[in-house]
């Protein structure tokens, strides 16, 4: 386990298609698409997607470590990824994330923007299907893992949708929101199911809940002290009337925002890890020490809550200063 397998690529189209599709369910996608939606499309759409994504991913990650279903045996399958091989298989959190993000985006936008519903439905279906198929192609999941993940995500969407607006309103207006947004995820992370060996699921879950917590605090602060979330001023570009000027503004917002987000992540990683290394007396490069509960949870949570906060508060302020609003 953990050793790279030798394989020969016979169809480069499928290979690169599914390698790219697999990346749509990983951090590189979350850290670009979700902030892009907040900066350039609609604050309310982004808020709903981030909340749904956090809930769905937490349930999916915990389910893996409770069910403890193994990943596909290798051989006969060839595994094209090694980082997540130590995790259990059921359900596929890639399938859960892809289903949750694509269909929550569809549901959140279909009443606010004029576009063919059929087109949105096909786009959501194609996106989630590509990610699901990528998990089979890369040898990381069985068909049952993928179907189970997609169905669990769909069920959670149906359960949460009736309370969608109420949850959003409470998170924006409740005076307890900042405290609960930090305390509840931290409690969940520190009480994550224990395994007999190290798995990246706890760290990944802490990353997701941390980013969601930081973003939620940012949403609350923006609603309290900046533009109220329910006014038309808070809506971004939307889909209609794409012009060259709008494209330039969108790209400028995106690249400025991503630069700030990446710098925040790198800075906070160094600072938090340095503080924890001093506190628990371990060298920064000690991977085993960084996997300990008392190190991994605060390291991941503080780093990514800072990223979420930066994306929702610092970046919009910078956009305003640069005349990109």
**In-domain check, residue 103:** yes
**Which residues carry out catalysis?**
94, 141
Domain that holds residue 217: 12-229+238-322
**In-domain check, residue 164:** yes
Which position has the higher pLDDT, 24 or 2?
A: 24
190-210 average pLDDT score? 87
- Confidence band, pLDDT 50/70/90 cuts, at residue 227: low
Structure tokens at 323: 């005349």
Distance of CA 201 to the CA centre of its chain: 14
- pTM here is 0.84
Residue 243 has pLDDT above 70, yes or no: no
**In-domain check, residue 214:** yes
Strand ranges for 241-318 from DSSP E: none
Residue 34 has pLDDT above 70, yes or no: yes
**In-domain check, residue 7:** no
**CA-CA-CA-CA torsion sign (96, 216, 258, 120):** positive
245-250 average pLDDT score? 82
**In-domain check, residue 1:** no
Q: What percent of the chain has pLDDT over 90?
A: 31
- Neighbouring C-beta atoms of residue 299, cutoff 10 Å: 23
**In-domain check, residue 255:** yes
Number of structural domains, the chain? 1
Structure tokens at 223: 């609603």
Residue-level pLDDT at 239:
45
- What's the whole-number average pLDDT of the chain? 84
What is the C-alpha to C-alpha distance for residues 180 and 272, in angstroms, rounded to an integer? Answer: 22
Residue-level pLDDT at 153:
92
């Amino acid at each position: 386990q953990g050793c790279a397998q030798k394989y020969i690529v016979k169809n480069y189209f499928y290979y690169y298609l599914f390698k790219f599709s697999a990346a749509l369910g990983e951090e590189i996608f979350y850290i670009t698409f979700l902030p892009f939606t907040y900066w350039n499309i609609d604050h309310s759409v982004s808020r709903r997607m981030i909340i749904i994504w956090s809930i769905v991913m937490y349930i999916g990650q915990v389910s893996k470590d409770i069910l403890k279903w193994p990943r596909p045996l290798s051989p006969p399958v060839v595994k094209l990824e090694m980082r997540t091989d130590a995790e259990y298989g059921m359900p596929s959190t890639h399938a859960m994330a892809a289903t949750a993000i694509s269909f929550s985006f569809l549901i959140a936008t279909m009443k606010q923007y004029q576009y063919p519903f059929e087109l949105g439905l096909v786009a959501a279906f194609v996106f989630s299907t590509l990610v699901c198929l990528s998990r089979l192609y890369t040898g990381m999941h069985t068909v049952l893992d993928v179907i189970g993940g997609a169905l669990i995500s769909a069920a959670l969407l149906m359960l949460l949708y009736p309370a969608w607006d109420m949850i959003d309103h409470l998170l924006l207006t409740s005076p307890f929101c900042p405290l609960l947004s930090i305390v509840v995820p931290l409690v969940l992370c520190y009480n994550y199911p224990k395994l007999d060996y190290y798995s990246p699921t706890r760290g990944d879950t802490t990353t997701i809940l941390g980013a969601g917590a930081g973003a939620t605090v940012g949403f609350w602060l923006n609603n309290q002290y900046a533009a109220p979330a329910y006014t038309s001023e808070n809506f971004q570009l939307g889909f209609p009337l794409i012009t060259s000027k709008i494209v330039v503004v969108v790209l400028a917002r995106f690249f400025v925002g991503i630069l700030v987000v990446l710098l925040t992540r790198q800075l906070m990683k160094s600072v938090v890890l340095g503080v924890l290394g001093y506190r628990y007396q371990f060298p920064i490069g000690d991977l085993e020490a960084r996997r300990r509960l008392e190190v991994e949870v605060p390291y991941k949570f503080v780093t990514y809550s800072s990223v979420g906060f930066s994306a929702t508060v610092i970046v919009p302020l910078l956009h305003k200063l640069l005349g990109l609003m």
